[in-house]
Structure 1
Amino acid sequence: MSQERLLELVGERVDDPELQGLGMLISLKGASDAGHLHAQLSNGLLTALDAELFARFDADELVCYSAQRPRVTFVADHFAGYQAPGIDIYLLTDELGRKFWFLTGVEPDLRWERFVSELCRFVDAYNVPLTTSAVSLPMPVPHTRPIGVTAHGNRQDLIENISTWSPTAETPASVTALLEIRLNDQQRDVVGYSLHTPHYLSESEYPAVAVAGLEYLGAALKLALPTEKLREAARLVEGQLAEQLASSEDVKQMVDGFEARFDAHAHQHEQRSLLVDVDQDLPDAEQLGARAEDFLASLGDTGPWLDAAHQREAGESPES
């Protein structure tokens, strides 16, 4: 296969001025997907917004099937419904009519440099002004506090004083990390948000982390992204977690310990929100929702998780 065919456009429209200068949002399912962030982001965006499939990577060239096996359905006496992996670029329209690119699918196992080179060429061809991404990391943090984040990239206005934890560490690489490096080398704007999901919820679908991801990505790209259904789901999960806390003193003590370490760290580090000015206090959850609505309005003018977690070793929080 020639290198040019690794990314196949559904229709060649590079000369369309309406497609020039659109931001890009990336969500790929990889090794770090605590709280099932990828599925919630992808399903939420593709079902709630107008979506047009624009380009498709050849997943057969990029995915190692023995490493991440596709799903297949067995019906009584035969196999059916093979779910082939996909890595696609969609053209989405947000709730205020603004278009943007959305790269979604599985993280490639193979040919990372070729994959990233194809993306960089796409960014150049369509003059993408900002590329953003979000991943979710399992962390020893409490669910009773705001979702923490480690912001990274080369746009200081979108990452400065955002992070709740800024380590210096060597970690396993990801395609989005490599893309961030290559785009920065080409002096293209790129930012990413690594969200901190409570480790005892990392294997369950945790809507709060998806809400946080959409807030960061929407604010960075100046988009109105759908969060209403996710917020409803988050409230339901929070109620279930509260019931488990109330029924188990041991679990409550575990979460209390996480809270104490989290609060001690938070008092030592000033954090700002992309939805407030630098001289304003960080809002609580209700205020943040109101601020988000104001922000978007201004753009118009222009389960058993805790019980299982308690059986694991808690460890020390890197945020302490």
Structure 2
Amino acid sequence: FAAIDPEEFYDFQVHRPTVRLQPGLTRRLEWPRNELSLCRSGERDVVLLLGTEPNLRWRTYAQEILQVCVELGAELLVTLGAFLADVPHTRPAPVSASSTDPDWLTRPGVEPARYEGPTGIVGVLHDAAPAVGLPSLSLWAAAPHYLPSGPNPKVALALLEALRDVVGLEVDTRDMARIAEGWQRRVDEEIAEDPGLADYVRQLEREGTGEPSPMPTADDLVEELERYLREQGRDQGAGG
């Protein structure tokens, strides 16, 4: 029912508009979009925002989103995301939560997230939400880091189940569950052809069900390398 004008928020050399051919070979230009749509879940109205993280003016972007929430009388802001972690694809994707309202983190079935580090537009939205009186909850599912990037139905299923069980939305997950089963069978077949990877998956299965650790970012690795080199330099200086 609405869209956010991308002009102020995107570097179009990074997120370039796309040319599409239409019947009759006419050309149509598609710009990066953030679209709002409305759906019904039981007795609740749900406003969905689907789009691409902006490059510019994050605080202004967040304020525009929150202004829409206020005008529509929204009662809760929920964001969904996924991160790469050392988890096996053969298990349900673990889901953790963060919130500016500690009451959400004490609810049954909620595993508080312990991540610290760089954040994205989701973090900015949640930081700004209390200023407009809007409670917020962020749900994150762990995805196996050893699989190629792309859609992961088990992660999608875990997030839908969290929306149902934690937030209380009426969500029919049966179709997604069937898709996830077929996806896992295909992944199992591919991994069976790689004995080393199959052994690694079994190792992850044996390591238990503790909170998954996010994979380090490139910045984390550079920082760790610099720290190591500094320590090596001090050791050599002390020895000389």
Is the TM-score greater than 0.5? yes
TM-score, with structure 1 as normaliser: 0.58
Greater shift, 104-113 or 62-71, is seen at 62-71
Which residue does 1:162 correspond to in 2?
110
Counterpart of 2:53 (choices 98, 107, 113) is 107
- Residue of structure 2 aligned with 1:247, choices 181, 193, 196: 193
Task: Specify the structure having the higher radius of gyration (Cα).
Answer: 2
In structure 2, the gaps of 5 or more residues are: 212-240
Aligned-pair CA distance for 1:168: 4.7
- Aligned counterpart, 1:93: 40
1:84 corresponds to 2:7: no
Identity %: 22
Change (3 A) 1:70 1:211: farther
Q: Is contact 2:95-2:162 (8 Å) kept?
A: no
For residue 39 of structure 2, give the secondary structure of its aligned residue in structure 1.
strand
- Which structure's relative contact order is higher, taking Cα pairs within 8 Å and 6+ residues apart? 1
CA distance in 2, matches of 1:197, 1:138: 5
Displacement, 1:79? 7.8
Report the equivalent of 2:127: 181
Q: Secondary structure at the match of 2:177?
A: helix
Which of 118, 135, 140 matches 1:194? 140
Deviation, structure 1 residue 153: 0.5
8 Å Cα contact 1:207/1:234 also seen in 2: yes
Question: Does the 8 Å contact 1:130/1:221 carry over to 2?
Answer: no
Query: SS of 2:51's equivalent?
Result: strand
Task: Tell me, yes or no, if the aligned pair for 2:98 and 2:113 is still in contact at 8 Å.
Answer: no
Partner of 1:60: 7
Query: What RMSD, in angstroms, separates the aligned Cα atoms of the two structures?
Result: 2.5
2:31 and 2:159 map into 1 onto residues whose CA distance is: 26
Residue 229 in 1 paired to residue 175 in 2? yes
Tell whether the 8 Å contact from 1:72 to 1:79 is kept in structure 2 after alignment.
no
The alpha-carbon deviation at position 170 of structure 1 amounts to 1.6
Write the deviation string for residues 232-261 of structure 1: whole angstroms up to 9, x where unpaired. 211111111222343332121111222233
Matches within 5 A, 1:25-40: none
1-structure distance, mates of 2:145, 2:105: 24
Structure 1 counterpart of 2:200, which letter? M
Partners of 2:21 and 2:71 in 1: how far apart?
A: 43
Give 1:88 deviation, angstroms: 1.7
Q: Aligned residues, how many?
A: 207
Counterpart of 1:265 in structure 2 is 210
